[in-house]
Amino acid sequence: MGKATREAYGEALRELGRENKNIVVLDADLSKSTKTNVFAKDFPERFFNAGIAEQNLMGTAAGLAAAGKIPFVSTFAMFACGRAYEQVRNSISYPKLNVKIAATHAGLTVGEDGATHQAIEDVALMRAIPNMTVIVPADALETRYAVAWAAQYHGPVYLRLGRMAVPDVFGDGYEFKHGKAVELANGADVTLIANGVMVAPARRAADELIAAGFSARVLNMHTVKPVDKEAVIRAAQDTGAIVTCEEHSIIGGLGSAVAEVLVENHPVPMERVGVLDVFGESGTPDALLAKYNLTVADIVRAAKRVISRKE
Partner 1 sequence: MPEHLSEQKLSELVSRAKSVRKNIIKMITEAKSGHPGGSLSAADILVTLYFAEMKVDPHRPADAERDRFVLCKGHAAPVLYATLAEKGFFGHDELSTLRKIDSRLQGHPSMKDTPGVDMSTGSLGQGLSAANGMALAARLDGKNYRVYALLGDGELEEGQVWEAAMFAAHYKLDNLTAFVDFNGLQIDGPVSEIMSPLPIPEKWRAFGWHVIEIDGHDYQQIYGAIQAAKTVKGKPTMVVAKTVKGRGVACMENVCDWHGKAPTAEECSNMLEELG
Q: Give the whole-angstrom CA distance, residue 16 versus residue 3.
A: 19
Radius of gyration (C-alpha) of the chain in whole angstroms: 19
230 is catalytic: no
Comparison of 54 and 247: residue with beta carbon closer to partner 1:
54
Q: Give the whole-angstrom CA distance, residue 140 versus residue 157.
A: 18
Q: Is 62 among the residues that bind partner 1 (CB under 8 A)? A: yes
Q: Is 18 among the residues that bind partner 1 (CB under 8 A)? A: no
Q: Is 95 among the residues that bind partner 1 (CB under 8 A)? A: yes
Q: How near is the Cβ of 260 to partner 1 at its closest, in Å?
A: 27
Among 19, 45, 54, 311, the one annotated catalytic: 54
Comparison of 28 and 138: residue with beta carbon closer to partner 1:
28
Q: Indicate which single residue of 24, 136, 169, 224 sits in contact with partner 1 (rule: CB under 8 A).
A: 24
Q: Is 290 among the residues that bind partner 1 (CB under 8 A)? A: no
User: Of 305, 300, 303, nearest to 208 (Cα)?
Assistant: 300
Q: Give the whole-angstrom CA distance, residue 105 versus residue 90.
A: 24
Q: Which region among 44-52, 169-177, 201-209, 231-239 touches partner 1 (by CB under 8 A)?
A: 44-52
Please list, in sequence order, all residues whose beta carbon lies within 8 angstroms of the beta carbon of residue 134, skipping any fewer than 6 positions away: 123, 126, 127, 157, 158, 160, 223, 224, 225
Q: Indicate which single residue of 71, 137, 162, 252 sits in contact with partner 1 (rule: CB under 8 A).
A: 71
Strand partners, 216: 190
Would you call 56 helix, strand, or coil by DSSP?
Answer: helix
Comparison of 71 and 187: residue with beta carbon closer to partner 1:
71
Q: Is 42 among the residues that bind partner 1 (CB under 8 A)? A: no
Comparison of 18 and 310: residue with beta carbon closer to partner 1:
18
Phi and psi based region of residue 232 (left: phi greater than 0; alpha: psi -120 to 50; beta: remaining): alpha
Q: Give the whole-angstrom CA distance, residue 272 versus residue 19.
A: 41
Q: How near is the Cβ of 105 to partner 1 at its closest, in Å?
A: 21
Q: Please state, as a whole number, how many other Cβ atoms lie within 10 Å of the Cβ of residue 178.
A: 17
Q: Is 82 among the residues that bind partner 1 (CB under 8 A)? A: no
Q: Which residues bind partner 1 (CB under 8 A)?
A: 24, 45-46, 48, 50-51, 53, 55-56, 58-69, 71, 86-87, 90-91, 94-96
Residue positions annotated with a catalytic role: 54
